[in-house]
Chains A and B, each alone.
Chain A
Amino acid sequence: MDLKKLINKQYTAGFITEIESEQVPKGLNEDIIKLISKKKNEPDFMLQFRLKAYRHWLTMKEPAWANISYPSINYQDIIYFSAPKTKQAKNLSEIDPKLLETYEKLGIPLHERAALSGIAIDAVFDSISVATTFKEKLKEHGVIFCSFSEAVQNYPELIKKYLGRVVPYSDNFFACLNAAVFTDGSFCYIPKGVRCPMELSTYFRINALATGQFERTLIIAEPDSHVSYLEGCTAPMRDENQLHAAVVELIALDNAQIKYSTVQNWYPGDQNGVGGIYNFVTKRGLCLGKHSKISWTQIETGSSITWKYPSVVLQGDYSSGEFYSVALTNLHQQADTGTKMLHFGKNTSSVIISKGISTSYGKNTYRGQVYVAPNAHNAKNRTQCDSLLLSDTCSAHTFPKIEIKNNTANIEHEATTSKISEEQLFYCSQRGINFEDAISLIVNGFCKQVFKKLPLEFAVEAQKLLEVSLEGSVG
């Protein structure tokens, strides 16, 4: 059995779109922030929010607690705003064909007649949203789905009310940077009693050289509403590292449900660990209402560094939070990811299922926190962390933190680390199944609990992505 196949990872989304772009000068200062805000024609409260964040950020230090290593980031060497130089498209037919082609190539057709049925897409290209599909159709149901910039113009009251509500500008170093410079992202508002008729989705694409992408997503689910949202991310192959520092805030009111799924496939860097995206992301959901539910599902296969902890604040009584994660680290990728489940309300419950797969020189860390506040009676949490190691040079680490201040809590924690056994491989091969198919079968089996939480179309996509990401990387 030839275990030592060459690492030959195919990153199919690594192309560059040749398009002229309008950029602000490199570097970060108050003038740049004012310039960004002006370009976006923002109301004053937005500029004030940004400046407050920026001034606070200057007092902060980059966190050093994560189990990752990278050369220090020069924040003055980044372009904070880059937008394709095309006139603002009022509708889909006015979009630059080059942009349409880019998304087409990525398998995300933006023409509604060709679009994936049942999925509305907001396409974010570098610093701006270039198109949002099915906007009108969604409006018929009262659902607002648009770019963040549009929301600032059209629904300033909602933005004022909720911006920074779940992730305050001062939350952490990267969230604070994002609050100062974020350029676009998606905004979703599901009115009371509405079950969103389509999947909502944002596709993030980094294209321009030396730019960072700083987007912000805000989803508000009014009482008794229901929404499923998915994000996808890709970037060209470049030798320089690029920074992606996003913030996502979710708010679920009484009986509302938000299901948020991510398939993250940022460029992971090459075989020697050169290039790739630095992905420092803050995602948090607030179960504000009674019986509300927020569920995070993430498939993390890309980025050279992943630093993210999609969390749920369980404030409403009987609210529940879920976190399902598959993180793959191949090549020289490093992932420090996990979740926080913060129980404040009574009778709240949470589930954490984390599957880490490491191969080649990958370094995979699960970091989680379960907190039960003094008044959070009858809180329940079940955590399961499994790691699968596919090479002798990779590593898996687990840092669970459990803090219980109420003795009615019921907390379970389970963790395993395993390798694919020779006997499993021999069993598969004795049934005619070749080595690569056997690995993919076994790895998919390992991830099944998480994959089955994804919307169907994306479950298939995630499975394929994992196969591509693992190609020839076992040995």
Chain B
Amino acid sequence: MKKHTHQPLLEIKDLTVTYINNSQPEKSGKTILEDLNLIINSGETHVIMGPNGAGKSTLANVLAKHPDYKIINGYIKYLGEDLVNHTPELCAQQGMFLSFQNPVAIPGVSNMQFLKTSLNTIKKFKGEKALDAIDFLNLIKQKIKSLNITEEFLYRSINDDFSGGEKKRNEILQLMLLQPTLAILDEIDSGLDIDALKLIANSIKSVKTSHNAILLITHYQRILKYIQPDVVHILTNKKISLSGDHTLADKLEAEGYSWLHSPPI
């Protein structure tokens, strides 16, 4: 029998990325990730920690194919496919989800309308039937209950005048709704009180299966009390400089990053 080769869900190999944006000439052309390597398998939860400005959020945006980033060396393979020519919407349609640190407001577009458009677009891509207004309402009502969100919240403009906590909860609501294959959660824990943190951590755990994976980007190990990671990575100097098990996070919490002897960014 032919041996089945194991394929990682996400494979990043020798990745070098520059920032390109004509309206920001002073930053444009800078290398922001260099020779970065990372492998995530189905069923795993990974955490990336690192000092401010190390490139954690950049990595999240690069994976989601933000148009300001250009891959100049190496590759990202997601579900075995090289992402070099992927559009952001294709990544999303193929099950990649990025929760934003500070999601942008779209005035006049109700949360409900946005979520429905998003879910139905992705369903359509998968060849599934789109949900009509009533089915969608039933589904979303279920989800908001567990997140302590009121129905009124669905009719507000998305992220418009949301508090910090509301924005985070709304990102998690989308995570629960879209059931992604790879969830990249960028500082989902920042600015939350302890009850909200618990609620969000439990919601993240509720979507976890053996077929998907979570990449958590955080400054603090406090969320790791609720979500046990399989691997902890430290991102310094534009690359993953150290990986280990959850005890690495404890060490960072106690000693900071200085013992890594990373040069300042």
Contact = CB atoms under 8 A, between A and B. Distances in A.
A426 B67 contact: yes
A83 to B, nearest CB: 44
A437 B88 contact: no
B117 A433 contact: yes
B149 to A, nearest CB: 18
Contact of B87 (A1, A427, A447): A1
B92 A441 contact: no
Interface in B64-110: 64, 66-68, 87-89, 91-93, 97-98, 100, 103-104, 106-109
B232 interface: no
Contacts of A441: 106, 109, 113-114, 117
A75 B100 CA distance: 60
Q: Which of A421, A430, A445, A449 has the most CB of B within 10 A?
A: A430
A437 B106 contact: no
Interface in A445-465: 445-449
Interface in B222-257: none
A431 B174 contact: yes
B62 to A, nearest CB: 12
Contacts of B106: 424, 427-428, 441-442, 445
A429 B97 CA distance: 11
Interface string B130-162: 000000000000000000000000000100000
Given A422-B67, A441-B114, A430 B108 contact: no
A427 B103 contact: yes
B122 interface: yes
B121 interface: yes
A181 to B, nearest CB: 42
A427 B108 contact: no
A42 B219 CA distance: 83
Nearest to B66: A426
B42 interface: no
A430 B98 contact: yes
Interface of A: 1, 421-424, 426-435, 437, 441-442, 444-449
Given A428-B106, A430-B89, A445-B109, 20 more contacts: A1-B88, A421-B104, A427-B103, A427-B104, A429-B88, A430-B64, A430-B88, A430-B92, A431-B114, A431-B121, A431-B174, A432-B89, A432-B93, A432-B118, A433-B117, A433-B121, A442-B109, A444-B109, A445-B108, A445-B157
18 contacts: A1-B67, A421-B104, A423-B104, A427-B104, A429-B87, A430-B89, A430-B98, A431-B121, A431-B122, A431-B174, A432-B121, A432-B178, A433-B118, A435-B89, A437-B117, A441-B109, A445-B107, A446-B108
